[in-house]
Structure formats: C-alpha cells, structure tokens
Structure 1
C-alpha cells in the first residue's frame, strides 16, 4: 500500500506590501510560496482578512494568522516558514495623489541651498579659511597673494565635485551600484518605522488578549 507524503509548502512573508483600499488581503499578496503547482494557485487566493476602516492604514499579519488558514485548505500540509514571521500591509488610499507643487519645490530648494551655503561659509569663517588659502598659495608660488582667485575657484569646484562623488548621485545618474548616504538613512528610517509599527500592533494584540510571538521588541 502506497503512502502519500505530506505536501511541502515553503512560505516567505514579504517585509511590506501595499494593497488598494477596499480589496481583501490574500496570501499571494503578502507571501512568496513554493508548493506543488496544483496547490499554489489555491494557496495564493486564500483570503486572510478584509481590512475595515477601524483597522487604520497599517495592518500587521504574522504567521500565526497565516498557518491556520493554510491548514484549513490543506490539513496534511508540511509548512516550512522562511525568513521573517510577519509582514506589514499598507492600505493605499483611493484618493488621487495631488500633483507636486512647483512653489513648494522651489521653496524647499531655496531653503536647502541657502542653508548649505551658510553652513559652509560659517565653517570657513571659524577656521579662517581665507588665510589658509593665502598661505597655501604662498607655499606653492613663493609669493604672497591676498586674493588667490584662481585657487579659490578651483577649491569651490572641488567642493561641488567632492559632494557629487560622496553622494554618488548627479540628478538621476549614479556612478555605481552602491547606495548613497541618503538612501542608507532612508532605509534605516523605514526599518525603524516598520519595527515601531510591529511593536505597536503586538501591544494592541496583547491588550486584546490575543497570542503573539515572543522577542518582538528587538525585531526577532
């Protein structure tokens, strides 16, 4: 007599997904699945929840919610979780996005431009950069020039060129595949936001008396 082995289902939850407002959240929306072809489509169509207005625009779904729904469809399944055990679902508003404001863009650009310029000028004033440049030119040429314009122009161009290299970005062009410092900071900011949302959602579950995994405070 042949024994049928339990079908293996490998599941990896996505870190963060966006779902249109009014649409139910399915397993296929929040997870990558590896399963037998005849099971995969049915698994991906499992409806996990229908977001309501009271849920807000950020919802946490973890494996403790997902696994029972899989067993309802495939009772004998051998579920193998991979990676993180939770995902954040962001509900996308149906309201059309406002067009970027040109006036706001110009205002922010001017604030950044003059703020950066004042920062550089204050630094140069603190270290007496003009005298330093005069001394450098004197060391190179052998005579003192109170207004080393050529050196100052080259120095100014060098500052701009150095900033382009440091930020690895010129308009839409990147010099290599390495992330820019701004991209790294944005990544860390988003990661901290996600961890805060996770902790807050588990706190709500705790107050409601629902089960929650251990070690969520440190992201494990």
Structure 2
C-alpha cells in the first residue's frame, strides 16, 4: 500500500531509441516517467541504465527488470508501476543513415515500370480491350476497334484511384488516415523490432547460462 513515505513512479518504456557509440542511456532517455515529485522525477531521469561498449555491437536490449533494479537501487523506498513494452531496443549509430538518391531513383523506376507492366498484363489476361469494345457496342450500337471515349477516362481513373488509395500525391496528403503502404511499413518495423529484441534476449540468456556453468 502506497503511503507518503513510499512515492510511486509511473513508467512507460519507449519502444526504440537511438544513441551514438559510447553514449550513456539514462532513464529519461529510455522511458517516459511521472513521479508526482518534480525533484525526484528530475533525479530519476538522470539515472544511468547503460553505457555503450564497442563489444556490445550496434543493437542492445534493456529489459524492464534491469531498469526496476536500477531504480530500486537508487531509491529503495519507491514503488514502480510499469506500462507498455517490457523491453526497449537501443540502436547504436554514429550518424543517421542518409538517403541514397541513386538507389531511390532505381527503385522508383523499377516500381513504376513494374506496376505498369503488371496492369497491362492484367488487362491482357481479362481481355479488357474486348470488354471495352463490347460495352461500346452495347451503348452505341456500333462496333469500334478503339473506343477512346471509354478507354481514356478509364486510364485516368486507374491513376486517380491509385492516388486516392495511397492517400498521397507527391508530398500532398489528403487526410489524416494512414495509407495501406504506411500501415505495412509500420507493421514491418514492429516485426523487425520484435525479432531483434527476441534475438538479443536469447543471446543474453545464453551468455548468462554459460557464465553460470563456469
């Protein structure tokens, strides 16, 4: 039971943080916290959780139990209430990665022509030209080999539909709803983070077991 002599710290770990080689990770960097006492809160924000070493590599996982041990070691009387993820992934990088324009241009060209070929192959498979000819014949009564009055707006409609679907036109965003591509990228990043955390935790457990066996 919490009393005046045992303050409560509310803690939510961040999913992922970025540091430079040799940098120190403090509690304020790794988590959002609220203690109700500004002085205690500022002191806990400066609590050192981890200092990067070269042998640790460029990915490190800090577990919630390690953080709670550090907090209780610095402030034994405090009660810790945690929310959210049980680990924080630390990415170590000297400089943030810069976009490579040549790779971007090549990828854009591949996607552009690949999407165009996919649409054309689909139209060939479903005999879209014959369908347009049949629709024209049903409406006008005349058979037309090239019903441009139907094919031209249909082509524009495909482009407009793709713009609306992805919710972007260059840097212009139509509304706040995330596009399917943004959702997929988010899910990919979440899966990568979960995999890296599981892999790092497995390596840590193996090292601890080897240390105990010795």
Task: State the TM-score, normalized to the length of structure 1.
Answer: 0.88
Contact kept, 8 Å, 2:21 with 2:54, in 1: the verdict is no
Aligned to 2:29: 29
Aligned to 1:62: 63
Bigger helix fraction = 2
Contact kept, 8 Å, 2:34 with 2:41, in 1: the verdict is yes
Corresponding residue SS for 2:116? helix
Structure 1 residues 194, 116: CA separation in 2 closer, same or farther (over 3 Å shift)?
A: same
- Counterpart CA distance in 2 for 1:16 and 1:105 is 25
Distance apart, 1:4 and its partner CA: 4.1
Q: Where do residues 87-98 of structure 1 align in structure 2 (5 Å cutoff)?
A: 87-94=88-95, 97-98=97-98
The runs of at least 4 aligned residues of structure 1 exceeding 4 Å deviation read: 96-99
Corresponding residue SS for 1:118? helix
- Counterpart CA distance in 1 for 2:197 and 2:103 is 33
- Counterpart CA distance in 1 for 2:69 and 2:112 is 55
Aligned to 1:108: 107
Map Cα deviations across residues 102-140 of structure 1 (whole Å, 9 max, x no partner).
Answer: x43332222112111111111111111100001111122
- Counterpart CA distance in 1 for 2:97 and 2:208 is 38
Cα RMSD between the aligned structures?
1.6
- Counterpart CA distance in 2 for 1:4 and 1:179 is 45
- Counterpart CA distance in 2 for 1:105 and 1:14 is 30
Aligned to 1:9: 9
Task: State the TM-score, normalized to the length of structure 2.
Answer: 0.90
Gaps in structure 2 of 5+ consecutive residues:
210-214
The more displaced of 29-38 and 106-115 is: 106-115
2:37 equivalent to 1:51: no
Structure 1 residues 122, 57: CA separation in 2 closer, same or farther (over 3 Å shift)?
A: same
Structure 1 residues 207, 105: CA separation in 2 closer, same or farther (over 3 Å shift)?
A: closer
- Counterpart CA distance in 2 for 1:19 and 1:105 is 26
